[in-house]
Amino acid sequence: MNVRTRVAVAAGLALCVGLTGLSGESGTTMSLPEGAIARLGLGWITSVSYSPDGRWLAVGTSIGVELREAESLELVALLTGHTGPVYAVAFSPDGTVLASGASDRTIRLWDVATGTELRTLSGHSDWVRSVAFSPDGKTLASGADDGTIKLWDVATGLELRTLTGHRDWVNSVAFSPDGKVLASGSRDETIKLWDVATGRELRTLTGHRYPVNSVAFSPDGTVLASGADDGTIKLWDVATGLELRTLTGHTSYVLSVAFSLDGTVLASGSDDKTVKLWDVTSGRELRTLTGHRDWVYSVAFSPDGKTLASGSRDGTIKLWYVATGRELRTLSGHGGYVLSVAFSLDGTTLASGSWGEIKLWDVTSGTELRTLSGHSDWVRSVAFSPDGKTLASGSDDKTVKLWDVTSGRELRTLTGHRDYVWSVAFSPDGKTLASGSRDGTIKLWYVATGRELRTLSGHGGYVLSVAFSPDGKTLASGSGDKTIKLWDVATGRELRTLSGHSDWVRSVAFSPDGTVLASGSDDKTVKLWDVTSGRELRTLTGHGGYVLSVAFSPDGMVLASGASDRTIRLWDVATGTELRTLTGHRYWVRSVAFSRDGTVLASGSEDGTVLLWDVEAVLGRR
């Protein structure tokens, strides 16, 4: 049974028994794009919101809106339709409608009971950062990076009016409890209060020294809270616009604020990785909730005020007991950008590199096998040794690490580069490892000991990609100097320079027979080169953005390319014809890799997921 068949069978079984995804959601089959057979990972988290009855928790992510059971955090539905990351979610007061705002410049309204999209609201000219329903549920407000706030009729989807006055992004909007006033917080460092009935600006509140990220009214409507990049929360008297007090304690940006239902407690989430609870009357800090490993983007109280939810860039949602600050539950599985993917030689395991860690996945079931932690920055590149026993990783922390695949144990750390390590590759015999760095050099390492064999210098810019020829005698490197260089591995001598790209060369790959080299560039093209002569064979055009990764199928007949235009394209190597464009990722496609038998293509994206594609199906071969 080949890799594609194993994955398809596992996905089919999961759907037949009514599971929401493969193996506890880590490899979900929900809302897959055409041609994809599994999704690994859940994307990154931007926002959380409770339904008014406390039954549901909506989670805005880079791939859509998750609807989860609030107490257990079980995934009930994945609402997809946006073509970019979702930055804001909000329930209508009666809990029947969910609104979401996204980087695709639209707001979508969803039927909570069925998960059906009711309508799309279009009109903003930039990312939608915030959405809020009026207390009667008839009006929706949206704030966007175009500097405007729009008011919409929920029943018809018609735009009622546009509020202008901010000079930069509108990061947050909130209705007063009586629905008469709208507050908006902006990157222009101000808060504005608006008359909802007329759209007239009532007043501007100034005092923050940096962008305002979040605003929230107290339940009685007399106080407005604001959190900003200056690390403070300010409480304002709504009637007069006077600043009541400033709450200090966070050591970095305050990204989200929320009042408890009784208005006595304020919660704040920060870039300093903490959640803080404050006494509203005195301004005293009640407690600090620690446990997140990265920015806390969003906080929300449950309707009964007993539980607080927090969503973080560390890929987790945490539920906290407000009375004590005790952590009740953590949901893991979300993650940051996926910058690199690689299949093991037998095709059973996939590695993906992200912020500070590598995840190993069982390709058949989509199950996350383990997480390899040790890097202190982005993992730009991962590669399996030919025998599948060792994994190499290159990171922005300037190191290369070698890992035991079976145990997940770190074997050794290779140091010597003076800047980010952007690419790693094993020689075909597994004895040598090559690494390319932003320091402009390539290093060759003896895998058995970690000893540096030699340093190859010659590029006039960052080294973004390295690849060994199938016979192991030649190394190719792509650089920010717009060139590809071919090197003699045995001597370290530069054999030739291939010129033709007009921008950075992000990725290089040899064909399986070693006669052709493919290169992907920021000039939006893929080029094919004759390795022996260095002659350019053809240029493949079609991508609308930087080409970040290229990979040959095992038979050498098809080339895959991933780009910042969020697509993967499949090309006929012999003719240069585009065979198929694969869409489904919500952000840049950073890495593509074929399974050993060529039946599955993996794509890793900055939307925080890996998609597995049925190659035969997308090419119409079956």
Three-state SS annotation for 439-481 = CCCEEEEECCCCEEEEEECCCCCCEEEEEECCCCCEEEEEECC
Residue 13: predicted pLDDT: 25
For the chain, how big is the Rg over CA atoms in Å?
26
* Rounded CA separation 77/59 (Å): 11
Q: For residue 245, what pLDDT is reported?
A: 97
Same topology, domains 91-100+122-331 and 340-618? Answer is yes
Which pLDDT does position 23 carry in this prediction? 34
Question: What is the pLDDT confidence band of residue 8, given thresholds at 50, 70 and 90?
Answer: very low
Q: What percent of the chain has pLDDT over 90?
A: 84
| Whole-prediction pTM | 0.83
Average pLDDT, the chain: 92
Question: Is domain 91-100+122-331 given the CATH code 2.130.10.10 in the classification?
Answer: yes
Transcribe 72-88 into DSSP letters. T--EEEEE---SS-EEE
Q: Which residues pair with 368 in a beta bridge?
A: 361
Strands of 198-242, DSSP E: 201-205, 212-217, 223-228, 233-237
Q: Give the least confident one: 64-73, 246-255, 450-459.
A: 64-73
Q: What is the pLDDT of residues 380-404, one digit of tens each?
A: 999 999 999 999 999 999 999 999 9
Q: What is the pLDDT of residue 315?
A: 79
List all residues 6 or more positions away from 6 whose beta carbon is below 8 Å from its beta carbon.
363, 364
**pLDDT confidence of 99, banded at 50, 70, 90?**
very high
Average pLDDT over residues 52-66: 93
Q: Report pLDDT for 92.
A: 97
H or E segment to which residue 518 belongs: strand 516-521
Task: Give me the residue label for tokens 């055409």.
Answer: 34
Phi-psi region for residue 37, left (φ > 0), alpha (ψ -120 to 50) or beta?
Answer: alpha
User: Is the domain covering 340-618 a CATH 2.130.10.10 domain?
Assistant: yes
- The stretch 554-560 carries a mean pLDDT of 97
Q: Distance between CA atoms of 509 and 519, rounded to whole angstroms?
A: 7
146-197 pLDDT tens trace: 999 999 999 999 999 999 999 999 999 999 999 999 999 999 999 999 999 9
Residue for token pair 């992510």:
61
Sheet bearing 578-583, strands edge to edge: 547-552, 558-563, 567-572, 578-583
- Nearest one of 589, 507, 522, 587 to 552, comparing CA atoms: 507
Q: How far apart are the first and last CA of the chain?
A: 16
Residue 78: pLDDT band (50, 70, 90) is very high
**Is residue 103 within 8 Å of 88, Cβ to Cβ?**
no
Q: What span, in angstroms and rounded, lies between the C-alpha atoms of 509 and 465?
A: 9
- Cβ pair 479, 487 in contact under 8 A: no
Q: Output the CA–CA distances (angstroms, integers) from residue 331 to 22, 88, 312, in the order listed.
A: 16, 19, 11
> In this predicted model, what pLDDT tens digit does every residue of 431-449 receive, in sequence order?
999 999 999 999 999 999 9
Among 277, 324, 298, 371, CA closest to 26: 371
Task: Give the residue extent of every domain in the chain.
Answer: 91-100+122-331, 340-618
